[in-house]
Structure 1
Amino acid sequence: MFLNELYTPLESRFTSGCAGIDMGATGSIYNEATALMEAFARPLWGLVPHASGGGESALWPMFLEGIINGTDPEHEEYWGEFSTKDQRMVEQAVLGLGLALAPHKIWEPLSDDQKMQVYNWLNQINHVDRSNPNNWLMFTVLVNVGFKKIGLPYDQAIMNDYLEKIDTYYLSDGWYSDGLTDQRDYYIAFAMHYYTLIYAKLMADDDPQRAAVYRERSAEFAKDFIYWFAEDGSAIPFGRSLTYRFAQVSFWSALVYAEVLPFSYGVLKGIIMRHFRWWFEKPIMGIDGLLSIGYAYPNLVMTENYNAPGSPYWAFKAMLILALPDDHPFWQAEEEPLPVLKDQLRLQEARMLVCRPEGNKHAIAYTSGQMANFDMAHSAAKYSKFAYSTLFGFSVPKAGYGLVQGAYDSTLALCECDEHYRVRRFCETWEIGESYAYSRWHPWNDVHVRTWIIPAGLWHVRIHSIHSTRHLDVAEGGFAIGQSAGFSRSDRETIHVSNTAVSVQLPWGISAIHMLSGFDRGECVQPEPNTNLLKPRTFLPSLCSRMEPGDHVLISAVFGATNTPENQESLASPPIIQQQSDGRIVIYDPRNHAVLHTVDLSERRDKDVDNGN
């Protein structure tokens, strides 16, 4: 099966004592010894469920030897001791899962002395300080669940304390926050829900009340989270840790494992299997057969400081379904397509408006108000762009000078006429309506920007009301669209640039931006390579302008869709705006002249002032 194919390249990369796997030379914030241990542990997220479901692997003797040596204080490859927050706590979680699901592989073959060494090393997690107010609390819970399942001493008090803390992160409608932060990214799916679903399954008899709550919350979350997926299996690239790739679908695997069915087995199987197929059609593995660091191709530019060479193997959390027996209904079910979903859905707790302008072909999230509570690489690009798309992804800067290096797609970039641009980062005020996303933000303390994003079918309208005491250059970026690869060329490839519009048509998609008010010229930027998550080279339709100090209103219409004759017709009909004398801006649908939304600039300004902003 394909799992064994993914594991084959690991065989020659174990360290001499098998307690580490050497996957590459790039670095992370933790030391090389910890990186080797991480690379050892993360493939177990697939092997443990596989073994639980009756699967076998030629790698188990090496993993068993590695566990023995890694937990032996006298061995040169001992994984070491820790007393505070440490990356090794993250990797202990899968060993706790292994004790619960596959003791016949990692526990029963050990001698009594070896068992005590494994227990002592894992039990360190019960003695660290409690400075991990986020999903890390569940690592301790999973280790203790593992202890409990094989009859070892465990700390029920810590489990209760941590699970009660997890409950304080619950918001509503199935959504958590990952601790005290404004980020609502994949950690809600592949951490908060994933771990609590495992707990719900393993502790259903021991803690039925919590198990029922976790099941109920996950079923509610699933009704929103399904909007992040397109019919081809792709998911909206958004937030941090995207190098974990098909971990995006691990939530759905955990639902099936925990027997939570907000949709039929066929729908769930379709989501999972299409996602796997989408990923394995991408060049995500290097010539050595190892999962690379990156997203849809190898790419260090977009990664986090905690992404070591073995980090991408956290994707194997999606393999939890392998714990299901061969006769489980999931395996017997026929794949079903995505159900009929709304064209537009407000996800209030996620601070986004998710739209599906081409049905299930394309999902776009329009966001306002998200940001992580710690500084990571490219945090503004990962959380604060105006739009995130399954079809176009998003881009991160390669450097800080100019539009080419900055790759400012789906955002408004501003500079003091010196090519050093700033973008939306933190939102001072934000609001997600049924038909718009709003934010107020400050690229400088004396520059105030109020932004409205209004979906309009294949288009969306952006309105920026700007008050500035500075001379500024501004650039409004549309969707970055991947350039052709190899020798492929097509008569369907066209680029059009004028003072009022820029469009790029390629066989797989159309990206365009149209000036409705306030801009000086159009420009097709060709960003630095390896800035976009989906394609290494892109075109970026943009509108540019130079502004004097004072008040300005910039309005644009942005188009993003697959390339079909019908969509080409829509490209010729951008939304219509009407600026009224009382300061209101009315946006009309060009198809039927229906009012999509009305923006009252003066009312919004007064409201922000009234709120103390």
Structure 2
Amino acid sequence: MTYDPASANPLFGNPLKTRADVEKGLRDLFNPLLPYFSEGAARVRLDGGAAHFDRAAADLEGFARPLWGLTPLAAGGAEFDHWELYRRGLANGTDPEHPEYWGQVNSTDQRMVELAAIGFTLRLLPHLVWEPLPQKAKDNLAAYLKHARQFDYADNNWKFFRILVDLGLEECGVEFDRSLTEKYLEELDGFYLGDGWYRDGNVRRVDHYIPFAMHFYGLIYSKLARNDDKRVAAYRERAALFAKDIRHWFDEDGGTLAFGRSLTYRFACGGIWGALAFADLEALPWGEIKGQFMRHLRWWSTQPIANRDGVLSVGYGYPNLIMSENYNSAGSPYWALKAFLPLALPADHPFWTAEEAPAVTPSEPVPLKHPGMVVQHTAGNVVALSSGQQNWQMRWGAEKYAKFVYSSRYGFSVESDERAYNGAAFDGMLGLSDDGRHYRVRESNEVAQIAGHTLFAQWKPWADVSVETWLVPQGDWHVRVHRITTPRALHGTEGGFAIGRADLNADKLSEGAGRAVARSQSDVSAIVDLGGQRDGRAQKALPNTNLIVAKTIVPQLRGEIPAGTTVLMTAVLALPAGAAAETSLDKVPAAPDLGVLEALIREEGIEVTAIQVAERF
């Protein structure tokens, strides 16, 4: 028998149908960490990889992040055998005289992030992690938290971290400057866009940080805060609105839209469903909330996301440092344990007693003006056409935010060599080159609008080259229209969806004029030039570029783009293999009328909310 990497996943084989299954899943995820606790228990170091912050902060990350799951476990009445380990770690990590001291916070610091989990734990479990400490350890812990909270936190979801620390300090009877708490609560309200949506700071980003951070922490606050009824009501009202939209980022099998940064946190993406339960907020019927939560965990239980010792890897569908952020240390993936928040609820809570209901998957496209998306539910997949977002601060920001389309089933790819134009994947993108080696793709938009189910963007890959792009859903397909105005000749490559590639070249590939189709054992992916100007190619992408599978094939269209104005029209499809896919493949949509698209945007277009902040590099 050969080794199956998925079997190292601590969730592998767990049916994840009941509360007991979820509790077992959490314990199985935590137990592989035990050998890596330091002698003084304050540090957890999992491998030799590094993040941009110092090693002590990374070790604190490994120590603190499991608390997002362990704290609800104990709050729900379950036994946990290692609270003495955490008490010892808290005492030693905050003792300046101990060799495992975490180091003092003196400015915006990664430690601020990790201290939020400690504040959350102090608020829910003071009898386990505060009261048993000797007085010196209490004094050190309180002093450490109070010192850290006086500095400016990053101008985004980080502001909630001070608030969570403050909830813990308050519960433990520690005096602190409450004006700082109120200041950040007010500033967080400034990120609210409406209809339940936030942005993650004053940036053109509306991503998974909205469900697994802004709403996640807001719902925790709504459950645990005292004497703040007005804000609690607002947080609950916003979350109830948001749930009706964010359910469309999840497919019928539990996969979620692979989009944006920090995807190594994996099932933290499902934290919104657990947070609704924790806050006793039936934003959707309990059966639907539970179904979203459980399916999401089950989806992840089948992926090879752990190393051979059961420690979660940096990556998404498999270990992958290429897609990681510069702030991902080996302990970072354990933010995934935020998904286990419902374990704080008793077994008779309606969330746990409800029968799972299937996902709501409307046949019509769903427009989401705030993130600038039009969502299509197709078989086993969510497809999101996208315009209006950008991220210049993170590695592979264009791939994570500025592709034309994102998917739960097929993920997206990051490039591994930006000086290899002919070898690039370009899934969901149009790559342009003026020298055959280097290339440009959409990174940002100068204009981003939505009209009904149609998206429009204007973008400039070079200062003297302008591209206008329309994105239109068409059943199982979607259509892209690009009007390119350039003073010099370019070469263009446009990609469809990346699908998993089989060994021994067992996939069936079709390449020809104006069309490329890839058929694997599990999926079909196609791209068609509706104007017949380009040649089709089934590109065998470089390994470890796609987030979900390590080896992929991407159908592409390639061709010359002369100086002047050129209009390209493209139809793209990907579906699970089978008769339904073959039927859809034969129903290529017709080329749209460009004049009609122009008129639609001119008469009905409204600006995508995500673009309304003037983010600068």
TM norm structure 1: 0.92
2:531–2:591 Cα contact (<8 Å) kept:
no
Q: CA deviation at 1:488?
A: 11
Q: Which amino acid aligns with 1:436?
A: T
- Aligned mates of 1:33, 1:285 — CA distance in 2: 23
Partner residue of 1:506? 520
Taking the aligned partners of 1:307 and 1:103, their CA distance within structure 2 comes to: 30
CA contact (8 A) 1:404 1:528 kept: no
Letter in 2 for 1:387: V
Q: 1:189 is matched by which residue type in structure 2? A: P
**Distance change (3 Å), C-alpha of 1:326 and 1:573:** closer
Task: Show CA shifts across 1:49-95 (max 9, x none).
Answer: 11111122233222211111001111011111112100000000001
Superposed, which structure 2 residues align to 1:51-450 within 5 Å?
51-128=74-151, 130=152, 132-203=154-225, 205-339=226-360, 341=362, 343-358=364-379, 361-372=380-391, 374-403=392-421, 405-450=423-468
Residue number in structure 2 paired with 1:17: 40
Is the 8 Å Cα contact of residues 238 and 382 (structure 1) preserved in structure 2?
yes
Q: Which residues of 2 match residues 479-498 of structure 1 at below 5 A?
A: 479-484=497-502, 493-498=507-512
Q: Deviations over 1:521-546 (max 9, x none)?
A: 11111111000001100001000111
Moved more, 339-348 or 58-67: 339-348
Work out whether residues 353 and 366 of structure 1, in 8 Å CA contact, stay in contact via their aligned partners in 2.
yes
Give the whole-Å Cα distance in 1 for the aligned partners of 2:237 and 2:136.
42
1:27-42 aligned at under 5 Å gives the runs: 27-42=50-65
Residue 547 of structure 1, aligned match among 553, 561, 570 = 561
Aligned position for 1:48: 71
The alignment partner of 1:441 has SS state of strand
Mark the CA change 1:180 to 1:143 in structure 2 (over 3 Å): closer, same or farther: same
1:466 equivalent in structure 2: 484
Measured after TM superposition, the shift of residue 127 of structure 1 is 1.6
Residues 565-604 of structure 1 aligned to structure 2 (within 5 Å): 565-577=579-591, 584=594, 598-599=597-598
Distance of aligned partners of 1:502 and 1:186 in 2 relative to their CA distance in 1, 3 Å threshold: same
SS in 2 for 1:266: helix
Q: State the 1:327 CA deviation.
A: 2.4
Checking the alignment, whether the CA contact within 8 Å between 2:261 and 2:400 is kept in structure 1 is yes
Shift of 1:314: 0.6
**Deviation (angstroms), 1:256:** 0.5
Secondary structure at 2:298 match in 1:
helix
SS in 2 for 1:394: coil
Deviations, residues 457-487 of structure 1 (Å, cap 9, x unaligned)? 11111111011012211001111111126x8
- Measured in 1, the distance between the counterparts of 2:600 and 2:351 equals 52
Query: For residues 370 and 592 of structure 2, what CA distance do their matches in structure 1 show?
Result: 32
User: Per-residue deviation at 1:150?
Assistant: 2.3
SS of the residue corresponding to residue 576 of structure 1 reads coil
Q: Secondary structure at the match of 2:530?
A: strand
Change (3 A) 1:524 1:600: farther
Write out per-residue CA displacement over residues 326-370 of structure 1, whole angstroms, 9 at most, x where no aligned residue.
322222222111135352111111111111134xx3211111110
- Residues 335 and 404 of structure 1, relative CA distance in 2, 3 Å threshold: farther
Distance 2:508 2:532 in 1: 26
Q: For residue 7 of structure 2, what is the aligned residue in structure 1?
A: none
Query: Which of the pair has the greater relative contact order for Cα pairs under 8 Å at 6+ separation?
Result: 2
Structure 1 residue 176: deviation in Å? Answer: 0.6
TM-fit CA distance, 1:404: 5.6
Q: Which amino acid aligns with 2:191?
A: Y
Aligned AA for 2:259?
Answer: F
Query: Structure 2 length as normaliser, TM-score?
Result: 0.92
The whole-number CA distance in structure 1 between the counterparts of 2:288 and 2:269 is 16
Whole-Å Cα distance in 2 between the matches of residues 311 and 549 of structure 1?
Answer: 47
* Maintained 8 Å contact 2:247/2:360: no
- The answer on whether the counterparts of 2:212 and 2:269 sit within 8 Å (CA) in structure 1 is yes
- Tell me the residue number matched to 1:592: none
Residue 494 (structure 1) shift: 2.1
RMSD over aligned CA atoms reads: 2.0
Structure 1 Cα separation of the partners of residues 598 and 501 of structure 2: 36
CA distance, structure 2, for counterparts of residue 102 and residue 140 of structure 1: 18
Shift of the 207–422 alpha-carbon distance from structure 1 to 2, 3 Å rule, reads: same
Greater CA deviation, 24-33 or 400-409? 400-409
Query: Which one-letter code corresponds to 1:120 in the other structure?
Result: A
Shift of 1:280: 1.1
Query: Structure 2: how far apart are the matches of 1:322 and 1:239?
Result: 28
The gaps in structure 2 that reach 5 residues or longer are: 1-23, 608-613
Q: Does the C-alpha gap of structure 1 residues 602 and 151 become closer, same or farther in structure 2, counting only changes over 3 Å?
A: closer
**2:15: which partner in 1?**
none
Judging changes above 3 Å, is the alpha-carbon distance between structure 1 residues 469 and 600 closer, same or farther for their aligned structure 2 residues?
A: farther
- For 1:293 and 1:429, the matched residues in 2 are separated by 35
- Unmatched segments (≥5 aa) in structure 1: 587-597
Q: Which moved more, 1:395-404 or 1:292-301?
A: 395-404
Q: Distance in 2 between matches of 1:95 and 1:542?
A: 49
206 and 497 in structure 1: CA distance in 2 versus 1, 3 angstrom threshold: same
Query: Structure 1 residues 66, 404: closer, same or farther in 2, change over 3 A?
Result: farther
Cα distance in 2 for residues equivalent to 1:601 and 1:314? 43
Q: 1:233 to 1:601 in 2, by over 3 A?
A: closer
Contact 1:11 1:59 in 2 (8 A): no
Relative distance call for 1:11 and 1:447 in structure 2 (3 A) is same
Alpha-carbon distance in 1 for matches of 2:278, 2:423: 44
Task: Name which of structure 1's ranges 440-449 and 348-357 shifts more when overlaid on structure 2.
Answer: 348-357
Is the contact made by 1:404 and 1:526 (CA closer than 8 Å) also made in structure 2? no
CA distance in 2, matches of 1:333, 1:68: 41
Deviation at 1:124, TM superposition (A): 1.5
Distance 1:105 1:484 in 2: 51
Secondary structure of 1:356's aligned partner: strand
Taking the aligned partners of 1:603 and 1:318, their CA distance within structure 2 comes to 43
Q: Is this contact kept in 2: 1:141–1:162, CA < 8 A?
A: yes
CA change 1:149–1:488 in 2 (3 A) is farther
Q: Give aligned pairs, total.
A: 584
